Chain A
């Protein structure tokens, strides 16, 4: 009986500890977000840090973004084309592919790409700096690590993600056009006419707003996980994994709620 009570006690203590840790992390991330936003006022004095980050997130991601987008465009056109063909509606492929890319696939795919390519690298870099006391060294030099490390990555993420999304939307739609022409004999002109008829500015804007939200999530989660890493090199790998998983889950959850909000 006593043993069972001890086990139950331990379970609740562990649960309580995990809950406290979770809420503490959420609180710390919100504070980090507020500080990063407030520090954006000194962006022009820190362009030497912001611009390289924008290059890493934007320009350096273009090859992999192109590859991902074009194949997603291919598949989307192929899958929907087969279904539409049964009703003789292949000419609507342009609308379906472009709206699908603009509203959902563009922002989510780009977010996944940036989490894997940039979010993981941000956490690994900052976590390595944390465990080797470089962050403490910055503090003792009166350098605010949030200004030096977080704000440039935050700004780069929220500005470059929408740019990447526009690019991914365009390439994906182009991929769809190629498949529409090759497999379903839809001429390019008809495909793009259909895109122009149905794709609205609102569709694009919704995707871009989502991408900004994803940019905030990726940068803040990645930087927070890096800054709070303690211990040795083994912790760096663990922090990176945790950061990637948390970013993925947060992006999926926020994507659902933002979409639902708009549909209401």
Chain B
């Protein structure tokens, strides 16, 4: 586990959508250079929490701190500067359908206008090669499979060279082999590129495969957090119920957890 301090510090975060109190005082510290999985059932508030981390949603109370600096509100000019430290891979990939794969991957760099066309093309080729999609620059997102779209989204995130990468349900809707490939790719990013990785998932295989720290969110609160081994041995009934199926398949002593 990296010890470069806290990358993301969520303090007493509350969020309402009209009368629906989605986040109810979330406290969470994500160490830099590590992979953290946020798990929980549907509607628990995982994606809402993730969107607060990147400033797509503003808290009703509490705050999010990025490397000890408070996340600016959505009207602040500083928000774009803070967001440059992030990249996010969305559940549905969120590729721009009007652009081809190469244009999607290079979009952020082109819009920044800091690099030459040749330099951007080189980065696009490099990142597509990294995710195993060499030579697919000219294909349109509509021509790709779900797994390939996810990988293009990861390449797009990597092209911006962020310090923190957020993944929203990266393996949802993928077959087990493709899900395994995506998991390996994310683990590789953490190990080789030393990025801080946050994954929101309800796929426990993914969480145990990738994460250094697993946090369980339930009814808008973090109810358990710890290393995969500690999480697997948790006596919290909510956690036990949530991972019971995983335990049945992998044994209840944490077999299947990566070394």
Contact = CB atoms under 8 A, between A and B. Distances in A.
Nearest to B153: A137
Interface stretch (A62-70, A103-111, A140-148, A183-191): A140-148
Interface string A140-160: 111110001000000000000
Q: Which of A132, A134, A140 has the most CB of B within 10 A?
A: A140
Given A136-B51, A140-B56, A148 B111 contact: yes
A143 B111 contact: yes
A141 B56 CA distance: 12
Contacts of A129: 96
A133 B54 CA distance: 14
A45 B111 CA distance: 10
A232 to B, nearest CB: 11
A139 interface: yes
B222 interface: no
B91 A141 contact: no
B108 interface: yes
A144 B112 CA distance: 11
A132 B92 contact: yes
A43 to B, nearest CB: 14
A133 B184 CA distance: 25
Interface residues of A, number: 14
Given A139-B83, A142-B80, A133 B90 contact: yes
Interface string B108-132: 1001110000000000000000000
B111 A137 contact: no
A123 to B, nearest CB: 16
A132 B108 contact: no
A134 B96 contact: yes
B88 A137 contact: yes
A134 B94 CA distance: 5
B233 interface: no
B185 interface: no
B83 A133 contact: no
B56 A142 contact: no
A60 B112 CA distance: 31
Contacts of A137: 88, 90, 94-96
B28 interface: no
A247 to B, nearest CB: 23
Interface string B72-116: 000000001001101110111011110000000001100111000
A137 B154 CA distance: 12
Contact of B84 (A45, A134, A142): A142
A142 B56 CA distance: 11
Given A45-B113, A136-B51, A142 B83 contact: yes
B238 interface: no
B92 A141 contact: no
B160 interface: yes
Given A133-B91, A136-B94, A141 B113 contact: no
Contacts of A141: 87, 107-108, 111, 156, 160
A46 to B, nearest CB: 9
B108 A143 contact: yes
Given A45-B113, A142-B112, A143-B107, A136 B90 contact: yes
A128 B160 CA distance: 25
A52 to B, nearest CB: 10
Contacts of A139: 55-56, 83
Nearest to B98: A125
**Which of A129, A133, A142, A144 counts the most chain B CB atoms within 10 A?**
A142
A55 to B, nearest CB: 15
Contacts of B54: 140
A140 B83 contact: yes
A136 B92 contact: no
Nearest to B104: A137
Contacts of B108: 141-143
A140 B80 contact: no
A250 B160 CA distance: 42
B113 A140 contact: no
Contacts of A140: 54, 56, 83, 86-88
A79 to B, nearest CB: 45
Contacts of B95: 134, 137
A132 B72 CA distance: 25
Given A139-B55, A141-B111, 10 more contacts: A136-B51, A137-B90, A140-B54, A140-B83, A140-B86, A142-B83, A142-B84, A142-B111, A142-B160, A144-B80
14 contacts: A45-B113, A133-B92, A136-B94, A139-B55, A140-B54, A140-B86, A141-B111, A141-B156, A141-B160, A142-B80, A142-B83, A142-B84, A143-B107, A144-B80
The 10 closest A-B pairs by CB, nearest first: A141-B108, A137-B94, A133-B94, A140-B88, A133-B90, A142-B80, A143-B111, A142-B83, A134-B94, A136-B56
